[in-house]
Structure 1
């Protein structure tokens, strides 16, 4: 009987030691700081945004926003539009590089964790800070991010209000106050997953922006600029409207066409109806200004044919000559997509 009891005690001790060893092993791997961060990265790689956001400390708190230097205006109600699976992709070959103990922020331990990975085929890495968040099941370590791993993409869209990022088209003014004044260039900030690669662009009927790629591998603010500039269609339309305006001016049968950029003064008597034509249209080239796209003073050339009689000797002759002129203009793309052209 004693031998049987001793056997049971020995088996129980072995089982307890095995369980303790298993728990210890799990706390060093699956439930370690590195294991916690790997859960986050694996969720991003799978496009599991719900799982990623459910992890402790992923969403930035007030302390994170303040540490990132964001103004109250920017930090207030940061859009979560980009926290979606459709903009994720290209994260693989995830490997733990290092885990380093850091000073505790509370009564638990804090660690700095570095992971290496490939981001759309390019070797990259990211640093994460995590801290103990108690236990679960009474035995397994729980962790949370002490600094949110999310990025804040601060997008400036020059000369436009909309842009496309990873196939998703957004309007920077979607979260602005209803009475916010219209501006030539706009900006907005968005919460976004990191690590991830974001490609920004703009393509509309009148404006085109070259692609700008941002590799978000650091938590907090990352600035990106989308420079929307007039494309061939816009320049062509402005040129067509300008030419039409000048052609209409040329139909006026006076020496000084009204509201037109040229005219001629003749001291002799006019003996025929002045006939104007355009021999060289100003070539439209648009550059961004503070409030609109601008064409600076650009040369053009009109031509006049008119018979005149000299007041000196009465001779009649034909004035057949070129009349050079210069003109400029300003252009704004209206919300409807139509062009508002102001000549000057």
Structure 2
């Protein structure tokens, strides 16, 4: 009877030991997976990919610097995170201050990058399971500038650029692309990669240029001005009209024979200068024809001269208007 009890007790003891061992293994597995320091990092990355800025900010326990928050939620955030691929979250590394560093390797646009996340143990749940959280820190700030514009597009979202500049709080890692593509002004896209909070990201500088549409509109107004001026000179029969072009002669010109025509229209170049847009000096050619009489010999001949001319203009661009004002000097 005693031997049977011993066997039963031994069986129970063995079962208890196996259960304890299994529980220890289970606790270790949980602490190495869902209760590991890597888990908040994975949850944070999920929030970035979902464009859930509120959840990402709460997980990261980050403070937001004084800056625009346009990149911290929605499609702008999703776009920044969508370019993160080939993610590998590494084993945590214990730091001298008791924090742990969780390394992460990943790829953005074909470049292999690395980010370290700093976490701290905040307690336990159910007596056995560790809880971890990011060490609080400010978010990085991405600076952007644009020449002669108060608007731009950042990660597909229109953003304000007061006086041509702004600063944006951003999550990391991620890639941010600025561009400008208006009817009259555009700038080639430029990108910046934010891999961490320790190293400030390179600024996004948009070099604005006048579009072909604006150049064509200004060219049309310049052509209209020159054609009108030439027609007026013919109507008034003037060799020296109130135009950029003129002809001086000592001969007597027969009234009714003067004709002006523009043989080469100026090529329009529009550049930024002093916070506004200016048209470079406009150079062209005009032909004048007429009958003329030499005052000394009385000889009559045909006048046929091509005159080079040059003038400047003032360019004013409103919401719906383009005004080109010629500036003539005599």
Tell whether the structures are fold-level matches, with TM greater than 0.5: yes
For the Cα contact (< 8 Å) 2:117–2:134, is it kept in 1? no
Gaps of 5+ in 2: none
The CA distance in 2 between the partners of 1:97 and 1:310, in whole Å, is 96
Query: How far does residue 243 in structure 1 lie from its aligned partner after superposition?
Result: 0.8
- When residues 231 and 85 of structure 1 are mapped into structure 2, their CA distance, relative to the original with a 3 A threshold, is same
The CA distance in 2 between the partners of 1:217 and 1:343, in whole Å, is 51
Deviations 1:203-260 (A, max 9, x none): 22112222223332233544112222122211111111111111111122322222x2
2:135 corresponding residue in structure 1:
145
Query: How far does residue 300 in structure 1 lie from its aligned partner after superposition?
Result: 0.8
The CA distance in 1 between the partners of 2:304 and 2:217, in whole Å, is 31
User: Is the counterpart of residue 287 in structure 1 residue 276 in structure 2?
Assistant: no
2:89 corresponding residue in structure 1:
96
Helix, strand or coil for the counterpart of 1:59?
A: coil
Query: How far does residue 158 in structure 1 lie from its aligned partner after superposition?
Result: 1.9
- TM (norm. structure 1) is 0.75
Output aligned runs, 1:69-218, within 5 Å: 75-76=65-66, 78-87=67-76, 88=78, 89-104=82-97, 109-119=98-108, 123-134=112-123, 140-148=130-138, 150-173=139-162, 183=163, 186-218=164-196
For the Cα contact (< 8 Å) 1:301–1:325, is it kept in 2? yes
Deviations 1:56-78 (A, max 9, x none): 42334xxxxxxxxxxxxxx53x2
The CA distance in 1 between the partners of 2:290 and 2:85, in whole Å, is 78
Greater helix content: 2
The CA distance in 1 between the partners of 2:123 and 2:260, in whole Å, is 88
1:301 corresponding residue in structure 2:
285
Q: Give the aligned length.
A: 310
The CA distance in 2 between the partners of 1:97 and 1:327, in whole Å, is 67
The CA distance in 2 between the partners of 1:338 and 1:103, in whole Å, is 65
- When residues 249 and 138 of structure 1 are mapped into structure 2, their CA distance, relative to the original with a 3 A threshold, is farther
Output aligned runs, 1:212-227, within 5 Å: 212-219=190-197, 220-227=200-207
The CA distance in 2 between the partners of 1:49 and 1:151, in whole Å, is 14
Deviations 1:261-282 (A, max 9, x none): 2222233334314322111111
Deviations 1:171-218 (A, max 9, x none): 323xxxxxxxxx5xx011112222222232222211222222333223
User: Is the counterpart of residue 265 in structure 1 residue 258 in structure 2?
Assistant: no
Over the residues paired in the alignment, what is the CA RMSD in angstroms?
Answer: 3.3
Output aligned runs, 1:27-38, within 5 Å: 27-38=31-42
The CA distance in 2 between the partners of 1:337 and 1:155, in whole Å, is 27
- TM (norm. structure 2) is 0.78
Deviates more, 1:278-287 or 1:288-297: 288-297
Helix, strand or coil for the counterpart of 2:247?
A: coil
Helix, strand or coil for the counterpart of 2:217?
A: helix
- When residues 102 and 147 of structure 1 are mapped into structure 2, their CA distance, relative to the original with a 3 A threshold, is farther
For the Cα contact (< 8 Å) 2:145–2:204, is it kept in 1? yes
Gaps of 5+ in 1: 61-74, 174-182
Deviations 1:13-37 (A, max 9, x none): 9877766665555444433333322
The CA distance in 2 between the partners of 1:221 and 1:338, in whole Å, is 38
